[in-house]
Amino acid sequence: MLIGPPAAGKTRIGKRAARILGVPFVDTDKLIEAEHGAIPDIFSSRGEPHFRSLERAQVVKALSADAVVAFGGGAVLDADTQRDLESVPVLLLTVRPEAVESRLGNGKRPLVPDVESWIRVYERRRELYQRLADHVIDSSFRPTDEVAADIADWARSPEAAHKASAHSTKEYTR
Ligand SMILES: Nc1ncnc2c1ncn2[C@@H]1O[C@H](COP(=O)(O)OP(=O)(O)OP(=O)(O)O)[C@@H](O)[C@H]1O
Ligand SMILES: O=C(O)C1=C[C@@H](O)[C@@H](O)[C@H](O)C1
Ligand SMILES: [Mg+2]
C-alpha cells in the first residue's frame, strides 16, 4: 500500500512499481472517479465527508487486491483504514516542499491548490503518515523510474513479504 501527501507521486510512480513487480496497479482515486465522476466535482457538489465515505468503500475493495495500491492522500484519515493498515505492508512516499511546487496547479486537487496549502495539509498529517508506515521513500528531485525500482525492492524485502503473508492468511471478512 502506498500512502503519502498529494503529489508525492503515488499514482505515477506506483504504476511503474507495479509494472516492475508484474502485479496490477490500483488507485483509490481512480476507482472513485470511475464510479462517481471527477474528484473536484464530488468535493464541490457533495462535500468532503461524502467524498471520504466513497473513498473508504474503495479502500476496502483495494485492501483485498494482490496489487500495488495507491491511496488517495487523505484516505489514511479514516480510523478504520488506519486499523486495516496495521496488517499490510505500507510504504510512505514523501516529497519536499521545494520539489512539490512544480507538481501542483493542475486544478485536480481541491484541498491543495498551491504549495502553501500543501504544506498546511502535510504538516497536519505528517505524524499520522509516519506512524502508519513500515518504510519511507522520498521522491524529491529523483527520476520516477529510480524511485519505482526502490519501491519494488522494498516490496520484495523480507519485512514487506512477512507482513503481506500475515495478511493473506488472515480471514478477511470486512
Ligand atoms: N519523481 C518525480 N519527479 C518529477 N515529477 C513527478 C515525480 N513523481 C511524480 N511527478 C509528477 O508530479 C505530479 C503528481 O504525481 P502523482 O499524481 O503521481 O501524485 P499522487 O501522490 O498520486 O497525488 P494525489 O494524492 O493527489 O493523487 C504528476 O504530474 C507527476 O507526473
Ligand atoms: O490529500 C487529500 O485529501 C486528497 C488527495 C487526493 O489523492 C484526492 O483523494 C483528493 O483530492 C483528496
Ligand atoms: Mg494519485
- The answer to whether the CB of 142 is under 6 A from ligand 1 is yes
Model confidence at 168, in pLDDT bands (50, 70, 90)?
A: low
CA of 15 to the centre of ligand 1 (A): 11
Q: Are 112 and 104 in contact (CB under 8 A)?
A: yes
- 171 is a domain residue: no
Please give the ipTM for the structure prediction. 0.96
Asked whether residue 79 is assigned to any structural domain, the reply reads yes
Task: Flag whether 173 is in a domain.
Answer: no
Atom in ligand 1 nearest the alpha carbon of residue 112: 26
Structural domain contains residue 80:
yes
CATH number at residue 134: 3.40.50.300
Q: Is residue 128 part of a domain?
A: yes
Contacts of 93 (CB under 8 A, 6+ apart): 2, 3, 4, 8, 9, 10, 13, 14, 136, 137, 138, 139, 147, 151
Which residues touch 19 (CB under 8 Å, ≥6 apart)? Answer: 25, 148
Residue 172 lies in a domain: no
**Residue holding cell 484516505?**
75
Q: Is residue 81 part of a domain?
A: yes
Summarize pLDDT for 77-118 with one digit per residue, the tens. 999 999 999 999 999 999 999 999 889 876 778 889 899 999
52 among annotated binding-site residues: yes
Parent domain of 119: 2-165
Q: In angstroms, what is the span from residue 91 Cα to ligand 3's centroid?
A: 14
Domain count, the chain: 1
